[in-house]
A and B are shown apart, each in its own frame.
Chain A
Amino acid sequence: MSNWIPLWVHKLGSPPTFYRFAGIVMPWMMALALVTGALGLYGGLVLAPADYQQGDAYRIIFIHVPCAWMSMFVYAVMGMSSVIALVWRIKLAEVVAMESAPIGAAFTFITLVTGSLWGKPMWGTWWTWDARLTSELVLLFLYLGVIGLYHAFEDRRQGARAAAFLAIIGIINVPIVHFSVNWWNTLHQGSTVKLFGPSKIAWDMLWPLLTMTLATKFYYVASLFRRVRTDLLALEGGKDWVREIARSEDDR
């Protein structure tokens, strides 16, 4: 039945293989994240002109928007891994789902706080209970709930399955966050960057934004691989391949 899945995908599901694969890929991802991040930040902070309405305060956009997109993207990845983990009981999917949660929570937290710092000079308030901000806050609580539920179980795998179930229930919130500015009257502005069709933002501001988006994605992969590698070591502590690693890294 699963003949359409290539062999290398099956092999990646094995912890030691994934550990080696992630160990090779992760430094490259981190390097790419740093390079694209530096490029994006230089473009955004130095090259891009000040906004005619918001002055230099708008430059928060170069971290606020990529982190907001990541908060939803990471939840989607977490949701998909959770489905795979619950349906096929693949250990690696459980680990990917559970280790994505803290990274997603970090991005959501940055989104909320940078948004607040942007809102104060622009809207005159640190916070408002409009649909976009409220649903993003709910997203943070969902991440914290997944993390909390995962750690509440003695058996790690059982905890992962319970938390995966919660993650799947909460996935309804992601489209709500995304479409909230269209469905409700919100203080938060509508979308200016479009996937299909022209975006309502100047190119000088758009390219650093897109570069930062790329940078955060690279960073997510690097951080995820780092966390998954560590978690695999913790989970598979009794196996020989982990013991080899422990012995070979004795002086660190």
Chain B
Amino acid sequence: MSHAGAATACAAMLRRDLTLAWRRRGDITMPVLYALIVTMLFPFALGPEDTLLQRIAGGVVLVTVLLAMLLALDAMFSSDIEDGSLEQLVLAPQPLALMLGMKILAHWITTALPLIVIAPLLAGMLHLPTAVMPVLLLALLLATPLLSLLGAVLVALTAGTRRSGMLLALMLLPLCVPAVIFAAGAVAAAQQGLPWLAPLAWLGSALVLAIVLAPLACAAALRIALDA
């Protein structure tokens, strides 16, 4: 019995996950609404003074996007574990790391991409100078897949445990600290008119490393966690 080649399987996996996510369209809007509400809280809490908001705008948008992604990360494997399709995936002849890479990509498309689309709105609410917006978007484009990949490994480790949401936050946030530092550093540098390419280059290289290693680590973690 022949099995589908890697490319076909990847396309099928991606299509499946995107279709499933589209059927629960409402779930896609949740992180977006959360990010909007949290960002709106800052002017209420700190006062509408322009200079203060401008200074914190880049960092607040980054942290808000990170937290919104964290909320959605838990659901990456949960429905597939519940109906058993994740175990089928582990047993499938296609390389597990590749299939998980596609799942992570689908999750990023449905979770992070909407957030990146509204990021200019969020930054605008906090009066981030328009000249800095492209740098913020670039930083988000590099940082969010890094978060998805790293988060996927940790979600795989906690797959099937109880209270996984809080535990996931406890484990993921310390490991995200370098990504947040470099992304926020780039935005802050752009705001001050300083060169901002270097921190983004670091972020890019970390992303490339993660694209290669994270699916493999995710597959290993899944095998450990599902090995009942």
Contacts and interface: CB of A to CB of B under 8 A. Distances in A.
A54 interface: no
Nearest to A146: B171
A169 interface: yes
B12 interface: no
A166 B157 contact: yes
B220 interface: yes
B158 A149 contact: yes
Chain A binding site: helix, strand, loop or mixed by DSSP? Answer: helix
B162 to A, nearest CB: 7
B164 interface: yes
Contacts of A165: 157, 220-221, 224
Contacts of A138: 174-175, 177
B174 A162 contact: no
A134 B167 contact: no
Given A155-B228, A158-B227, A170-B175, A145 B170 contact: yes
B72 interface: no
Q: Which 7 A-B pairs have the closest CB atoms?
A: A141-B174, A145-B171, A152-B161, A138-B174, A161-B224, A162-B157, A148-B167
A137 B174 CA distance: 9
Given A148-B170, A162-B158, 14 more contacts: A138-B175, A141-B171, A141-B174, A145-B167, A148-B167, A149-B167, A152-B158, A152-B163, A158-B225, A158-B227, A165-B157, A166-B154, A166-B171, A169-B217
A83 to B, nearest CB: 13
Nearest to B227: A158
Chain B binding site: helix, strand, loop or mixed by DSSP? Answer: helix
Range of interface residues on chain B? 20 to 34
Residue in B154, B173, B174 with the greatest tally of chain A CB atoms within 10 Å: B174
Contacts of A148: 167, 170-171
A149 B157 contact: yes
A212 interface: no
A148 B175 CA distance: 15
Given A138-B177, A152-B163, A169 B153 contact: yes
Nearest to B224: A161
Interface in B145-169: 153-154, 157-158, 161-164, 167
Nearest to B154: A166
Contact of A162 (B173, B217, B224): B224
Contacts of B171: 141, 145, 148-149, 166
Nearest to B213: A169
A142 interface: yes
Contacts of A170: 175
